[in-house]
Structure 1
Amino acid sequence: MSTDWRAEVEQRREQKDRYFGENPRSPIPDGEQASFDGLNYYPLDEQYRFELPLHEHDDKERLTVATSTDGEQEYVRWGEFRFAVGVEEVTLQAYKSDSEDDRLWVPFRDATSGDETYGAGRYLDLERETHRTADGDWLLDFNEAYNPTCAYSDRYECPLPPMENWLDVAIEAGEKSYQTNE
């Protein structure tokens, strides 16, 4: 894992902004793409970066998750991360789309949802190659939190964060609401 995490996160943000503003497959609606000048993010903040063990569940239960279009998707509840945000102890479940997947999906809502951030919640994707430390912990970096595609257009179906991942604390890191761009 690189020690220059700030530059890496900034570079990924710039690449995403370019893609959203220029690519025909962008989730930004066609009528808004020409005037798109980038997404709105919280400033990078090291206090929202955690190196944590994944407490893997012995019984990996399947979970049906509701979607933004009243559909459903299946996930496997793989494990959980336990950490403190300020003085508040929190737990977030990590899911996989299937047991063979090396990527963990960590959807969440927090006290900023519906105010400064997308109301339905945000996501973190943790890739084994880029989010595992040498000692086997996972890097849970909320500076990388992003909105699902349905935040930009209702033509997308997005899984909604399960209630077990609704946090009472504010996670003032990552992507803000698309509507707050000016």
Structure 2
Amino acid sequence: MSQDWKRAIEAQREEKSQYFGEHPHSPIPPAERESFDGLSYYAIDADYRFEVPLDRYDDPEPVIVGTSTDGEQTYYRWGEFTVTIDGADVAIQAYKADPDDDRLWVPFRDETNGDETYGAGRYIDLETDHHRTTDGEWVLDFDEAYNPTCAYSDQYECPLPPTENWLDVPIEAGERAYEPDSGRPF
């Protein structure tokens, strides 16, 4: 198996850390940027990378999703992935903000949240042109899991993973909790 996907994730992580540390639109508060030395990640692990079909729903239903600021946003439950993690079959829902969008949003919480990872959950974005195989399956790679912007500053409003995507397994892949701890409740 080619290791190109690993190199792509490493490059994406480096680029994101540089952006967060230097760009004026970084979600890292300006007072923290001077001491910012990069984001923390789990080691890239092929055991968290899956090529799986999406069990797409015939009639996607709207779902009201709570946010980090006690607001609400509407998404469409688009389909379900089923993967095996540490011997357990895990079902995880994929959503769309707009039915005409090509991007799938996969928010989740797992057994690492609040300890090793951001307490409110993490996200994976799947884009048709980057995450589809030639035979139509999706590449669901938890190494690409990232924290929402509200993990860095409470000035952002972030949708929270619906309870149906609260997984009963640890996902030791992707982005870890941001330090320093700012005292935010998540």
Q: Normalised by the size of structure 1, how large is the TM-score?
A: 0.97
Cα RMSD for the two superposed structures: 1.1
Q: Deviations over 1:116-147 (max 9, x none)?
A: 00000000000000000000000000000000
Q: Secondary structure at the match of 1:50?
A: strand
Matched, 1:54 2:54: yes
Shifted more, 19-28 versus 3-12: the winner is 3-12
Using the TM superposition, give the Cα deviation of residue 100 of structure 1 relative to its aligned residue in structure 2, in angstroms.
0.1
- Whichever residue aligns with residue 172 of structure 2, its letter is E
Q: Deviations over 1:4-41 (max 9, x none)?
A: 11110000000000000000000001100011110000
Q: Deviations over 1:34-73 (max 9, x none)?
A: 1111000000100000000000012210000000000000
Q: Normalised by the size of structure 2, how large is the TM-score?
A: 0.95
The match for 1:114 is: 114
- Aligned-pair identity (%): 65
Conserved 8 A contact 1:122-1:148: yes
Structure 1 ranges of 4+ moved more than 2 A: none
Q: Deviations over 1:71-92 (max 9, x none)?
A: 0000000000011101111100
The match for 1:159 is: 159
- Whichever residue aligns with residue 27 of structure 1, its letter is P
For 1:168 and 1:93, how far apart are their aligned partners in 2?
A: 14
Conserved 8 A contact 1:40-1:180: no
For 2:137 and 2:14, how far apart are their aligned partners in 1?
A: 28
Q: Secondary structure at the match of 1:51?
A: strand
Q: Secondary structure at the match of 2:83?
A: strand
For 1:136 and 1:143, how far apart are their aligned partners in 2?
A: 21
For structure 2, the 5+ residue unaligned runs are: 182-186
For 1:33 and 1:116, how far apart are their aligned partners in 2?
A: 22
For structure 1, the 5+ residue unaligned runs are: none
